[in-house]
Amino acid sequence: MSTIAPDRTPLASDATTSPHWIGGEAVHGGITGNDIVDPATGGVIGRVSYADDALIERAVAAAAAAFPAWRDTPWPRRAAVMFEFRTRLRERIEDIAAVITAQHGKTLEEARQEVLRGLDAVDLATGIGTTLKGQMSEQVGRGVDTFSSLHPIGVGVAVSPFNFPALLAIMPIAAAIAAGNALILKPSERDPGASIIIAEAAREAGVPAGILSVVHGNRPVVEALIDHPDVKAVTFVGSTQAARSVYARAGERGKRAQTLGSAKNHLVVLPDADLDATVDAVVSGAFGATGQRCMAVSVVVAVGDIADELVARVVDASQGIVVGAGTDSVTQMGPIISAAARDRVRRIVGDAVDAGADAVLDRREVEVEGYEGGFYVGPVVLDNVTTEMEAYREEIFGPVLSVVRVDTLDAAIELIRGNPYGNGAALFTSNGSDARRFEREVEAGQVGINVPVPVPIATFGSAGWNDSIFGDTQMNAGSVGFWTRTKFVTTRW
């Protein structure tokens, strides 16, 4: 098991420190972590401690001890707990949304919608009995029958990112626990507050102590959890570099892993597209959640002679977007998560302009009155971007839309095929034949036709292709296979 660096100062309990959650209760302690910063103001609003070896051992021990009884709990009872979990989460929507906005910066409405989307995953978990069924074949030999059954794997770890601190915590919690496992959640240290409210809701719903724990920390904490001999699986969402590292570490230790990484989502616009609908979709897909989502539209591929009008109308629709604090009712786009992230966005835009891109809309230096210390970047539209530019190659994770111009649909499909990521791709057209060809040939795991952000509902799995995922299972409905293992039994009586 990895050892957390011992040269950190033990952290005393205080009201501003986000606690861990172990054994069904809030637990303070560990080692000094980081400040929690409000992106809207740049001010420190709390602290988070990182788990040390003792807290990690305590969380894993609690999970391992609670697992056998929860595994043996009939699935209808586990489903009933999920029904109650959904109720408790819905009652706390405003509390969860408020802490997300305070720690992440997205608007209150975006935060509410995030929680509501998480409830879809809990809805799926309430029907866990429909997906935990095995198969049977009788008389495979004389007097011999064979059947299969699904069994929970034990103690799992979920590492969730900063950009959806509720949704991407609720999804693995619902799937893993409904399937009979114990789960340790390691949320982002930037905005950990939502995870504790979710854990409280789970306890109130009847999730036994130890079945859900929350520990805070950075990379050493994740590595220590992966290395622990009682941890059987890890699910992760973050950058491709980190996803690859987590997947490799888990594989080396014989652990099951699904790790979701970066994205570079393309939206292709054909000349026959309905421009009114397309422009609305491009703007919402690119600048919703300040571009800080793995399914954000980051590249528009304009095919043929539609490019000039498309770009002009996107710019016109974007230049009036109200940037401000997420708590302000007039705000349409909140701040970036941190000063470093803001500076990175600005640098990438500047480098693209220096390399020949046209900044047809450049609001990267936007200032918000009364919030001068906040981490704000307004919408940016870069035209005539080439594939050599960092603005095209890398996931920016900010409100930057790159426009690449090509002559044909063939060229658009080939452009997407040449990108290392394959999270999502969309096509806007009124031609059914072109749409069908695109959905069959494009290299992406989630495809939209006249839909800019094509994330399936929870009853379908969701995952990208290529360097956007490591492992062969998906989230939501596709995760039941990840959280269970199959037993085959052959009998003769």
- Do 352 and 385 form a contact (C-beta atoms < 8 A)? yes
Domain assignment present for residue 8? The answer is: no
Which pLDDT band holds residue 62 (cuts at 50, 70, 90)? Answer: very high
| pLDDT for residue 178 is more than 60 | yes
Distance CA 99, CA 80 (A): 28
Identify whether residues 405 and 477 lie together within a single domain: no
204: tokens are: 């109130």
Choose the catalytic residue: 294, 301, 412, 453. 294
Identify whether residues 473 and 450 lie together within a single domain: no
pLDDT of residue 13: 37
Distance CA 292, CA 344 (A): 13
- Taking residues 255-270, report their average pLDDT: 96
Specify the CATH number for the domain of residue 90.
Answer: 3.40.605.10
- The residue behind tokens 């740049």 is 42
Q: Determine whether 239 is exposed, middle or buried from the number of CB atoms within 10 Å of its CB (0-12, 13-18, 19+).
A: middle
294 is catalytic: yes
How high is the mean pLDDT of the chain? 94
Distance CA 418, CA 412 (A): 10
pTM of the predicted model, to two decimals? 0.93
Domain assignment present for residue 375? The answer is: yes
- Taking residues 274-282, report their average pLDDT: 97
Spell out the residues 6+ positions from residue 319 whose beta carbon is closer than 8 angstroms to its own.
361, 363, 379
- Taking residues 273-298, report their average pLDDT: 96
Identify whether residues 73 and 174 lie together within a single domain: yes
Identify whether residues 211 and 349 lie together within a single domain: no
Domain assignment present for residue 22? The answer is: yes
Distance CA 178, CA 167 (A): 16
213: tokens are: 């724990």
- Taking residues 143-151, report their average pLDDT: 96
Count: domains in the chain: 2
pLDDT of residue 11: 34
Distance CA 321, CA 147 (A): 58
Residues 20, 21, 24, CA angle at the centre, nearest 5°? 160
140: tokens are: 């495979």
Q: How many CA atoms lie less than 13 Å away from 493 in the CB half-sphere?
A: 4
pLDDT of residue 473: 80
**Alpha-carbon distances of 273 from 266, 324, 443, rounded to whole Å:** 16, 32, 21
* 265-269 β-sheet, strand order: 358-362, 380-383, 400-406, 297-303, 265-269, 424-428, 446-449
Distance CA 41, CA 45 (A): 10
**DSSP category for residue 471:** S
Distance CA 487, CA 267 (A): 43
222: tokens are: 């994740």
Distance CA 319, CA 465 (A): 33
- Do 250 and 256 form a contact (C-beta atoms < 8 A)? yes
Identify whether residues 94 and 241 lie together within a single domain: yes
Identify whether residues 382 and 478 lie together within a single domain: no
Dihedral in degrees, nearest 10, Cα atoms 447, 452, 458, 462: 40
Distance CA 269, CA 476 (A): 30
**DSSP category for residue 448:** E
What sections of 319-396 are H helices per DSSP? 339-354, 390-393
Helix, coil or strand: residue 13: coil
- Taking residues 429-435, report their average pLDDT: 97
pLDDT of residue 147: 96
The per-residue pLDDT for range 111-139, each reduced to its tens digit, is 999 999 999 999 999 999 999 999 999 99
- Taking residues 178-206, report their average pLDDT: 97
185: tokens are: 């959640």
pLDDT of residue 181: 98
pLDDT of residue 463: 84
- CB atoms < 10 A from the CB of 284, how many? 14
Which pLDDT band holds residue 296 (cuts at 50, 70, 90)? Answer: very high
pLDDT of residue 476: 78
Which pLDDT band holds residue 460 (cuts at 50, 70, 90)? Answer: confident
Domain assignment present for residue 1? The answer is: no
Domain assignment present for residue 164? The answer is: yes
Residue 68 is which amino acid?
A: P
Identify whether residues 321 and 251 lie together within a single domain: no
pLDDT of residue 12: 36
- CB atoms < 10 A from the CB of 394, how many? 15
Which pLDDT band holds residue 467 (cuts at 50, 70, 90)? Answer: confident
pLDDT of residue 458: 83
| pLDDT for residue 77 is more than 70 | yes
Angle between helices 167-178 and 193-205 (to 10 degrees): 30
Least confident window among 29-33, 186-190, 439-443, 474-478: 474-478
- CB atoms < 10 A from the CB of 7, how many? 6
Domain assignment present for residue 5? The answer is: no
Domain assignment present for residue 473? The answer is: yes
Which pLDDT band holds residue 475 (cuts at 50, 70, 90)? Answer: confident
pLDDT of residue 461: 78
Q: What percent of the chain has pLDDT over 70?
A: 97
Identify whether residues 269 and 148 lie together within a single domain: no
- The residue behind tokens 């029904």 is 83
The per-residue pLDDT for range 19-41, each reduced to its tens digit, is 999 999 999 999 999 999 999 99
Q: Which domain holds residue 51?
A: 17-261+468-492
- Reference 361, options 391, 323, 317; nearest CA is 317
- Do 293 and 265 form a contact (C-beta atoms < 8 A)? no
pLDDT of residue 247: 96
Identify whether residues 199 and 215 lie together within a single domain: yes
pLDDT of residue 248: 97
pLDDT of residue 419: 94
Identify whether residues 324 and 451 lie together within a single domain: yes
* 17-18 β-sheet, strand order: 17-18, 44-50, 31-37
Specify the CATH number for the domain of residue 399.
Answer: 3.40.309.10
Identify whether residues 207 and 170 lie together within a single domain: yes
Domain assignment present for residue 12? The answer is: no
**DSSP category for residue 333:** B
Identify whether residues 181 and 304 lie together within a single domain: no
